[in-house]
Copies of this chain bind each other. A is one copy, B any other.
C-alpha cells in the first residue's frame, strides 16, 4: 500500500533539518519541530528516543547532502584551479549560512561526540577532497610547489565558512563574495 505523502518520521527529520539550519540545536525545541512537521507529541517519541536522537538523524542527512553537493562540483570538468573556483563560486544561499558549519557554534553539539561526529567527518572529508585537487594542480604546475596542499585546502574551506560569518554579520552576501574573490585572486595561476 502506497502512502499518499511522506511518512511521519520523514517529515520529522526534514522539519528538524530546517530548524537546525535556521536556529541551531540549542534554539530548536521539540515543540517547534512538531508544529512544523504536523506530527503529534507521541509520534516523535515513538520514532526517536528524544531530541538528540532526532537531531542526529537530521544532522547525518544534512551532512550527507552537503557532501554530495560538493562532490558534484569538485568532480566536474576543468583544471584543479577551475574546479576549486567552481566550488567557491557555486550558488549558495549565503545569508542562511552553512547548515553543517553553523553547528560548530552550538555548545550542545560540540559537547556530544555523536552529534559532532558527522560535522567533523564532513568538513574533514571536504578538506581531504580539496587537498587531492590542490595536489593535482601542484603536480601539473598550476600551483606553486612551495605550497602545502592540505594547508591550501584548509584555507579554502575556512574562507567559505568565514565568508558566511561576514555575510551574516553585515546582512549582505557581498562580504562572502569579496572573501572568495580575494582567495581566488591569490590562488590564480600567474606567470612566474
Contact = CB atoms under 8 A, between A and B. Distances in A.
Interface of A: 22-24, 26-27, 97-98, 101-102, 104-108, 110, 116, 119-120, 123-124, 127, 144, 146-148, 150-166, 168-171, 175-176, 178-183, 185-187, 190, 192
Given A24-B105, A178-B150, A182-B148, A165 B168 contact: no
A152 B185 contact: yes
B148 A181 contact: yes
Given A157-B179, A179-B157, A171 B116 contact: yes
Contact of A166 (B116, B146, B161): B161
Contacts of A159: 155, 158-159, 162, 179, 183
Given A165-B101, A169-B120, A175 B154 contact: yes
The A contact surface, by secondary structure, is: helix
B169 A119 contact: yes
A22 B107 contact: yes
Contacts of A26: 23-24, 26-27
A179 B151 contact: yes
Contacts of A163: 154, 158, 162
A182 B165 contact: no
Contacts of A148: 178, 181-182, 185
Contacts of A101: 162, 165, 169
A119 to B, nearest CB: 5
